[in-house]
Structure formats: C-alpha cells, structure tokens
Structure 1
Amino acid sequence: MFGWSRLTEASERQQAYVVSMLGSGGAGVLFLGWTVGDGASWWGLLAVEAVLAVPFGLALRAYRAGIYVSRTGVRVRTLVRTRSVAWGEVVEIDSGPYRRIDRPDDPRRSDAIFLVLRSGERVRTPVRILNPTLGGKASGPLYERRDIQRFKAQLRDRIRS
C-alpha cells in the first residue's frame, strides 16, 4: 500500500503542537548557545537537544495523526500506532464514543470515526467531533460535525468504488 494522501487535513491544534515544539526547541538551543563558555558545555547542549527530540517527535507524530487513503486501502495514524487496512476489509464507516466509558448523555462525550472491518472489529480513528463543552482540555484532530460527515462520506465512497 503506497501513495497515501491525507483525508483529514491537520487541525489547528495539530499545527500548534509542532509550532510550540519548534519554538521551545529553538529557545533551548539559543539559551544554551549563549551559556556555552568552553568545549565541555557543548556536551550539555547536545544532551539537552537529545532530550528535546523526544517531545518534538511526539509533537510531529501528533501532527501526523489522522486518516490517510490510497488506491488500495485506508491508514489510521494515531500518536502511538499506524494501522493500514485494505479497502476490501472495510465494510462500513461508523461513529461512536471515542472512549469506551463515555455515556450517551455525557456532555463531555466526543464521538470518533470508526472503520468496521469484515471480521467485525471496529478500528477507532483519532478523528473526533469537536465538543465545545470540553473547551481547551481536548487534544488531537478535532473537527466540526460537518467536516466529520464529509470525511465519512468520502470514506464510504471509497468503499463502494
């Protein structure tokens, strides 16, 4: 499966992750660059940059979270996992609670897109409906309800073709 294109454009939050990590990493380099007095301090600078590489890697991964499609299948990319599924295995596109513990009447509930596979397995995507009651507490690829409906329609069209 190759030739992947992103179905879900990066949300503003996802873009902010990368910008904030670039900013903090750049500030760390500048700060340590000003404090370097002798050659031994360069090792400290290198150590700090190695430590900053982990959160930057996570921010980059968070930026890339979403749904990708190709001619042969669909790819779900989350913060910690990427899963590719052939179109022939996907039987339905559904939505439901992002977390298993969410109740239908919970005002903090945020529904996500799910791929329903031929085996009956439901693959949760990180793509969720923006719930205004969460305010700034939610993270990840959050979209308006109309965008989620558009993504689901595009996926359903791919299944039928």
Structure 2
Amino acid sequence: MADSPSQARVRQALDAQGLATDIVEFDTHTRTSHQAAVAIGCDVAQIAKSLVFRCQHSGQALLVIASGANRICERKLASLIGEPIGKADADFVRSQTGFAIGGVAPFGHITPIRIVIDQDILHFDAMWAAAGTPNSVFRIRPKDLVSASGGTLADVRLD
C-alpha cells in the first residue's frame, strides 16, 4: 500500500535521519495512547504521544512528546518556554504540523516547531510514535526520537 502524503513526510524524515524502521498501519484507530497500545500490544507508557499547544503571547506552536502514561503539567511547560500556553484546536494543529490530531508525528512537520520531550521516555528501550495518520505508527529508540526531532528533554509530567 502506498503511503499517504502525511506518511510520506514521516518516512522522508526518518530516511533523512538514517533511521530504518517500518511504518505500521492498522485497520483500527491509534489516535489515543490507549488505542495505540492495544493495537500494538505494548504498554501505554511506550506510546510517544504528541500534544500541540499554542503559546499565548507569540502564537507559536509547541509540540510536547510525552510518554502515553503521563499527563502534562502546563505550569512546568509555561515556565520552561517563558510564556503561558493554551490548547490548540484541530485547525491550528493541522496548519502548524500538516497532520491531523491523532496522527501528529514527532517530525516531518510543514513548519518549524519548538519541541519539548518528556524525559520519562528514556526509561524504555523503544517507543511507538504516530506516523502521520490516526492509524499508523512506527517504532523508535528514545535517543533517536530526541535527536531526530531536535526536541529538548525536560520534566513535564504532572506530579
């Protein structure tokens, strides 16, 4: 089966980083961490969920990649980036990343995006991330996820 345009961008980004991994497409949705973990057969904590926020002063997008088991502390994020953040709607997410909510990949975005990564992903040998569509994922080592995305590791988990 041919890649969708969104999956093709993810595959190109993986190839550009020299990361050989397969994009796995499911007949069911993998939009949420729970759905993805069930489809893959892994622990929900091994899902690299992508959350897009809108920075309230600059209007820029902020992508947070977190362990699927963790909730994100918006206060910690705001302190880290130096401005308050708010939720991003579906149109904003698509216009900034090129992906629909539930399929936002950690890279392959259509615009440059600041990325913060939950340091808890380092507890695992492998993570599963969205591959550009709400039913496709790929497996990646946490250190490769950090380097390929250009993200900054931080403690962003809600305590």
What is the TM-score normalised by the length of structure 2?
0.25
Tell me: higher relative CO, structure 1 or 2? Use CA pairs within 8 A at least 6 residues apart: 2
Q: Computing the radius of gyration over CA atoms, which structure comes out larger, 1 or 2?
A: 1
